[in-house]
Structure 1
Amino acid sequence: MVETKERVLSATPHPAAEASLSSGRRWAVVASLFLFMAINFADKAVLGLVAVPLMHDMQLSPTQFGLVGSAFFLLFSVSGIATGVVADRCNLKWLIAALAFAWAVAQLPLGWPTTFAVLLLCRILLGAGEGPASPLALHVVYTWFDDHERNLPTTIVQQGATVGVIVSGPLLTFVAERWNWHAPFLFLGFASLAWLLLWLWVGDSGTHRRRFSEEPGAAQAAASPARRLPILPFFANRTIIGVMLQCFVGYAVISIGFTWTPAYLRLALDFPASHAAWIFAMQVAMQIPVGVALAMLSHRLLARGVPSRLARGAVISVVCVIAGIAYCAIYAGVPTPVKVALMAIASACAIQTFSFGPMLVAEVVPAERRGALLAITNSIVTLAGLLGPIAMGKLITSGHGASGYQLGFGVMGVLLVASGLAGFILLNPQRPAKPLRAESAANR
């Protein structure tokens, strides 16, 4: 027994030595994935930023433009699920590199005059390449950090999305006004290629495993390494159901925001293009202080021994309710400056579902199934992006005009409040998923 224990301890690096060796590398990976998500969300935002000149030049109706916005999500979920199935078996470095290359291939053809069919095909291809991006990026982060360390790196990577939209709003609008609406797509295509070279230099997945001195979480304690657990039964877990519900509504907000918010600011609220771009950027900028504040609050609660059911589950549920109330207030009819502020609050709160959701999922599934579950749940909830933009386009086309935007925001508000209230009941990561309970019982 003594010899066995000595072998285990000697085979495991001392925590201080391990941290010293891996700290610089893992934060370099976090920084590169921050840029990865920045480009990812700039790609999403560009269509909305050039909406007015694109619609005018190609003579598209709001319904047709809404179709283009929704086309991005046609294969978004399918590719995410397909990637999730193989994520735990593939080299993550090369998988993420392939995604970045696909982004470039999808953006570059739009740098020149094109047809409606090519525009649709390029947005579909881009969606297929970006569907697995966020869950794969977080999966890589989780291979470098323990559960109790994940709040900060998760927030940093997710805030890359926010920074990408903040920077791309004024920058891509300037590029479009300086040249034409094709130029931003060309710019983003070359940005993806530049990031690909950076990732091939610094990128990699970690080899994180639980150290002998740490207490295992519910998922890790119940999982047996001898048998690979099936995926489907995990979707009966209440926490995963709650995460998917909140993230589904949150992604509807995101997809409508990227596709229609810049046009709403210009056509319904009468802001000029440059002002609309800066207002959109500042609205998105609200996500940074909100995200950092919530991450710090959750981290401190966890450090004080507050269960994750409250420190993560209850916190994000309250945030969803606040976002919903803000959107409902827009529909109630308030002055323009108040509408702008309420939209900033609502979007900043709604997007936090994609910071807290993956951490909650990672708590209730074992590491061997984490990559697949993160990718598949993300792919399912992003189906909301297929519905949101075209639904908003139909509201506008049907004659509602400016009130159609506000009606859409009001519907989103009601759904956010409902998902927040449901979260108080469903989100409880301390309760292991059903496959883990069955596995644990079989091992007794």
Structure 2
Amino acid sequence: MKPESTTLSGQTLVPTTRTGKYRYVVLAMVTLGIAINYLDRATISVALPDMQADLGFSEAVAGMVLAAFFWTYAGGQLPAGFLAGKLGPRKLVTLSALVFGLVTMLTGLAWGIVSLVVLRLLLGLGESPAYPAAAQVVSEWFPRRERSFASGTFNNGNPIGSTLCIPLVALLVTSLGWRPAFFVAGGIAVVYAAAWWLFYRSPRESQRLSPGELAHIESDQETRANAGDEPVAVPWGSLFRHRTVWAMMIGFFCVNFVAYFFITWFPTYLVNTYNLTLLKFGFIGMIPGIASMLGGWTGGLVSDWLVRRGTDLTKARKICLVGGLLGTSVIALAVVSPSVTTALVALSVSYFSSTFAAASVWCLPADVAPTAAHVGSLGGIQNAASNCAGIVSPVLIGVITGMTSSFAVPMLIAGCVAIIGALNYAFFLPRLRPLEP
């Protein structure tokens, strides 16, 4: 079958095997932005024990402070997804990184619970556009057969940022105190905002993209996304009428219910349960994060390999989604671990499996979007639902841990939620195809 051609400035472009790799430079910049996003949001998790000692608040209050971020982060996903299609990734990512960078720096000046909650609310609002914009970038810069790896790669910004945060913030907190840690993390985001604005252009606006690579990118795009198509009127609210969208929301909620344990309570769990110093935790605490990076890339490669070998798209995505969530449920085994070593093994398997599944989760918006402009909207919708887990999970863990003086019950609950997510993707998610207007 002859590869589909496209045109640019009157020229016919035919994809070839030698297409160039500039799209991977764009992907690296997107991944870096997600990593900085998570660095800024996770700084408080590592600094939390020192902040509690300094400002004097309990585990239950700490859970409320951690959850405050997700109140606005989850709510901000819907407008952020809409804006990703309207403003475009260049403007939206720049504004987002500038806002959350400045707010992170201001967190270093917090004087009490009220100020912390307000700043966490603002941080959630500032960070909310990151994932919908990233999904929009991948849908523009990668053909369908490469999107799972690309999605898994930018989603790996989560464990990269969270993992790098552990030794960096631990070193800053132990040497300078917790406040300078926020100044440094926020400053990095402000620098990134300027770099993204100067760097990013869409594929057809980029001066660094070869005609062959542009043809390769557009050779496997959905027909609805090709230039010259008539616009299709799809009311944003009508997306919620589709079972596919609700299955995406439920499934991603279950993925993130477990994942946010690692971003919020994981440092406190390991330090308190196994009596570790913060500096020692800063090194061994990186192990599950490294496992999660490998999981994201592995999940992306497996899903893309299945698609390339002719596996039905729905089956290819479900294999990774269901298998990943079943593996994620292994977090429950950490409660019976007799040592920090066995606990780290269980947690590493769980986090690996979580990001393995998430690589396919972030392909779904492009797989089912009725128009190219709706990729960001669908990404925002499913991410809004997933981050409701960020509201529930930290508070639930904080309250139950405060009542029982143990993380056992919350981690058992997390394992059960992962199994529910696997069942949702296996039986409730219908066949993947563009949603009917």
What TM-score, normalized to structure 2? Answer: 0.89
Find out whether 1:184 has 2:181 as its counterpart: yes
**Is the contact between residue 321 and residue 421 of structure 1 (CA under 8 Å) also seen in structure 2?**
no
Aligned to 2:14: 15
Q: Percent identity?
A: 21
Pick closer, same or farther for the CA change 1:429–1:102 going to 2, 3 Å. farther
After superposition, residues 345-360 of structure 1 pair within 5 angstroms as 345-360=349-364
| Cα offset, 1:50, TM superposition | 0.8
1:122 maps to 2:119: yes
- What is the letter of the counterpart of residue 282 of structure 1? I
Distance 1:158 1:265 in 2: 24
**Distance (whole Å) between structure 1 residues aligned to residue 139 and residue 127 of structure 2:** 19
Shift in Å, 1:211 = 8.2
Which of 323, 331, 336 lines up with 2:335 in the alignment? 331
Instruction: Compute the displacement of 1:31 (Å).
Output: 1.6
Instruction: State which of 405, 409, 427 in structure 2 corresponds to 1:425.
Output: 427
Say whether the 8 Å CA contact 1:84–1:373 is kept in structure 2: yes
- TM-fit CA distance, 1:421: 2.0
Counterparts of 1:335 and 1:17, CA distance in 2: 54
AA at the equivalent of 1:341: V
Q: Residues 19 and 106 (structure 1 numbering): CA distance in 2 closer, same or farther, change over 3 Å?
A: farther
Cα distance change on mapping 1:61 and 1:212 into 2, 3 Å: closer
**2:172 — aligned with what?**
175
Please state how far the C-alpha of 1:92 moved relative to its aligned partner.
2.3
1:410 to 372, 394, 412: 412
**Structure 2 residue 44 is matched with structure 1 residue 47:** yes
Which of the numbers 256, 263, 269 marks the counterpart of 2:274?
Answer: 269
What CA deviation, in whole Å up to 9, does each residue of 1:334-363 have, x standing for no partner? 543212211111122123443211202211
Other-structure match for 2:257: 252
Of 182, 193, 198, which residue of structure 1 is paired with 2:195?
A: 198
Cα drift, residue 241 of structure 1: 2.6
* Structure 1 residue 255, shift from structure 2 partner: 2.2
Residue number in structure 2 paired with 1:239? 244
CA contact (8 A) 1:33 1:157 kept: yes
- Matching residue's letter, 1:274: L
- Tell me: CA distance 1:174–1:85, structure 2 relative to 1, closer, same or farther (3 Å): same
How many angstroms does 1:304 deviate by? 0.8
The structure-2 alpha-carbon separation of the partners of 1:217 and 1:16, relative to structure 1 and needing over 3 Å to count, comes to: closer
CA distance in 2 between counterparts of 1:67 and 1:246 reads 24
In the alignment, is the contact (CA less than 8 A) between 2:14 and 2:215 conserved in 1?
no
Q: Are the counterparts in 2 of residues 239 and 361 from structure 1 also a CA contact under 8 Å?
A: no
**Counterpart Cα distance in 2 of 1:252 and 1:207:** 38
- Is 1:72 aligned to 2:69, yes or no? yes
8 A Cα contact 1:36 1:195, kept in partner: yes
Deviations 1:172-222 (A, max 9, x none): 10011110011110001110111112112212233499989957758769x
> What is the alpha-carbon distance in structure 2 between the residues aligned to residue 144 and residue 388 of structure 1?
34
Return the alpha-carbon distance in structure 1 between the equivalents of residues 215 and 8 of structure 2.
13
* CA distance, structure 1, for counterparts of residue 215 and residue 429 of structure 2: 24
Matched letter for residue 391 of structure 1:
L
Q: Contact 1:314–1:423 at 8 Å: present in 2 too? A: no
> Could you list the per-position Cα deviations for residues 357-384 of structure 1 after superposition, in whole angstroms to 9, with x for gaps in the alignment?
1202211112131121112221222111
Q: Which runs of 5 or more structure 2 residues have no equivalent in the other structure?
A: 206-213
Once the two structures are superposed, residues 83-138 of structure 1 have per-residue CA deviations (whole angstroms, 9 ceiling, x without a partner) of 22232121321111000110122111223462222211111111111122112122
Assess, with a 3 A threshold, how the Cα gap between structure 1 residues 158 and 226 changes in structure 2: closer, same or farther.
closer
Query: 2:258 touches 2:328 (CA, 8 Å); kept in 1?
Result: no
Deviation digits for residues 2-55 of structure 1 (CA, Å, limit 9, x no counterpart): xxxx997984641348985x742x333212111101111111221110111110
Q: 2:210: which partner in 1?
A: none
**Counterpart of 2:57 in 1: which secondary structure?**
coil
Instruction: Return closer, same or farther for 1:159/1:212 CA change in 2, 3 Å cut-off.
Output: closer
- For the 8 Å contact 1:266–1:276, the answer to whether it is kept is yes
User: Residues 239 and 360 of structure 1 are in contact (CA less than 8 Å); yes or no, is this contact kept in structure 2?
Assistant: no
Unaligned runs of 5+ in 1: 1-5, 436-444
Partner of 1:343: 347
Greater shift in the superposed pair: 256-265 or 107-116: 107-116
Aligned-partner residue type, residue 345 of structure 1: V
Please, what is the CA RMSD of the aligned residues? Answer: 2.7
Instruction: Report the Cα distance in structure 1 between the residues aligned to 2:16 and 2:248, rounded to whole angstroms.
Output: 36
Residue 63 of structure 1: aligned partner: 60
Flag the 1:299–1:211 CA change in 2: closer, same or farther, 3 A. Answer: closer
CA contact (8 A) 1:36 1:160 kept: yes
In the alignment, the residues of structure 2 paired with residue 150 and residue 197 of structure 1 have an alpha-carbon distance, to the nearest angstrom, of 27
Question: Which shifted more, 267-276 or 8-17?
Answer: 8-17
Counterparts of 1:47 and 1:148, CA distance in 2: 38
* Bigger Cα displacement from structure 2, 9-18 vs 343-352: 9-18
Asked if 2 retains the 8 angstrom alpha-carbon contact of 1:210 and 1:216, the reply is no
- Output the amino acid matched with 2:191: A
In 2, Cα distance between equivalents of 1:279 and 1:246: 30
Give the stretch that moved more between structures: 349-358 or 257-266.
Answer: 349-358
Deviation at 1:65, TM superposition (A): 0.6
Instruction: Assess if the C-alpha contact under 8 Å between 2:247 and 2:425 holds in 1.
Output: yes
* Cα-to-partner distance string for 1:289-325 (whole Å, 9 max, x where unaligned): 222222222121111100122211222111101211x
Cα offset for 1:82? Answer: 1.3
